[in-house]
Amino acid sequence: MSKEHAMRTRLIHGDKHEMNPFGSLQMPIFQTSTYQFESTKQGADRFAGKEPGYIYARLGSPSTTQIEEKLAILENTECAVATSSGMGAISSGTIPFLQKGDRLVADKALYGCTFELFSQQLPKWGIDVEFIDFADLSAVRKALRKKTKMTYCETIANPTMKVVDLEKICKIAHEKNPDCICVVDNTFATGLICKPHDLGADIVVHSATKYLNGHGDIIAGFVCCDSKYYPAVLTNGLKNITGSVPAPLNAFLLNRGLKTLPLRMKAHCENAMKVAKWLEENKDIEAVYYPGLKSHPQYKIAKKELAMTGGMIAFEPKTAKIAEKMMNNVKLCTLAVSLGDCETLIEHPGSMTHSTYTEEEMIDAGFNKKLIRLSVGLEDPDDIIADLDQALKAALKK
């Protein structure tokens, strides 16, 4: 597709190939583990990288090529690598570039499993990891040294909804060390709301399980980068370290989800704004964290950096007990982890997605046991609000 076409057009059509010889409207599912060679020379040339083509499904297939090309379009990178999960993407996009003695500086507020990988696993391999508040640029300047090999943060932080100034952070990192690799998890922002690569990030990772797929029926991930980093992500990260290869059916379903992403994200954001305003006006809710509200601590950065305000909200009732009771009393909303689905999902980070944090680490990262995370779905927003209202009233009853 031409770059002159709109993003919603390019996400539907992608790039056209001769991989579909029978002319079906949808790309077929290539349910095969290996690929036939015409000769031993062709096989040798493909293994040597002298000839393009498929070898073995762990190294790529037509099923994954179509979605990888669309993600590169979405994130404005030269390349993308599809993985079987978000953690597969995070591992494949970071570990190949780190070795004993290297230093990683990461934001304090991260997805729980990312935090565990960085805080518990990387130090075992001799990698120095420091967690700081990326919203504090003076702390960023202090932490980034010449030997810092990598920085890592999230566009919209999980679960605090913090928004950091990616452009300034990447600039500081590259000034301190031109070889520093800035990695950004863009799961909440999808590439439609923010393009971290355009702001200076070197590698962008996604849990495609969430908004990119949008239907709660697969697990997948992506690493988006330029050709400089692509061989290490594909060969070392995906092929040799994680083996995190998406199944052909999952790739097919993800391609389906990408076609409606712009329409879904617009609705998610509109619904979330209406729900966030209702929460903010409710006297029984102490705090609401949503990038679209003027009360958000980084509202000005969000206005500059985000094309839309997102579908994720975090909020705090007056006590942790009320929070628990409220979640136990929802009827329309679904008490479940994950996010980005058509259904509204509600969960408790402190005991679920972020239970890898100690209570002290939670407070240090900016959240507590009162915090509720809400993934606003595609239902009528008035119905979502009515359900939250009745659940809160039930929770407040003695």
Just list the catalytic residues. Answer: 58, 111, 185, 210
Which residue's entry shows tokens 């300034």?
A: 168
- 2, with CB counted inside 10 A (0-12, 13-18, 19+), is exposed
Shortest CA distance to 184 belongs to which of 174, 200, 196, 172? 196
**What tokens does 113 get?**
């499993």
d(CA 237, CA 227): 14
- 375, with CB counted inside 10 A (0-12, 13-18, 19+), is buried
The DSSP code sequence of 35-51 is ---SSHHHHHHHHTTSS
d(CA 248, CA 355): 32
d(CA 341, CA 376): 8
Cα-Cα-Cα-Cα dihedral sign, residues 263, 187, 341, 84: positive
Backbone angles phi, psi at 140, to 5 degrees: -65, -50
CA 383 and chain centroid, separation: 27
Residue 131, CB half-sphere, CA atoms under 13 Å: how many? 19
d(CA 256, CA 213): 8
Neighbours of 33 (CB within 10 A): 10
d(CA 252, CA 46): 25
Torsional class of 216: left (φ above 0), alpha (ψ -120 to 50), beta (otherwise): left
d(CA 294, CA 300): 8
d(CA 367, CA 375): 17
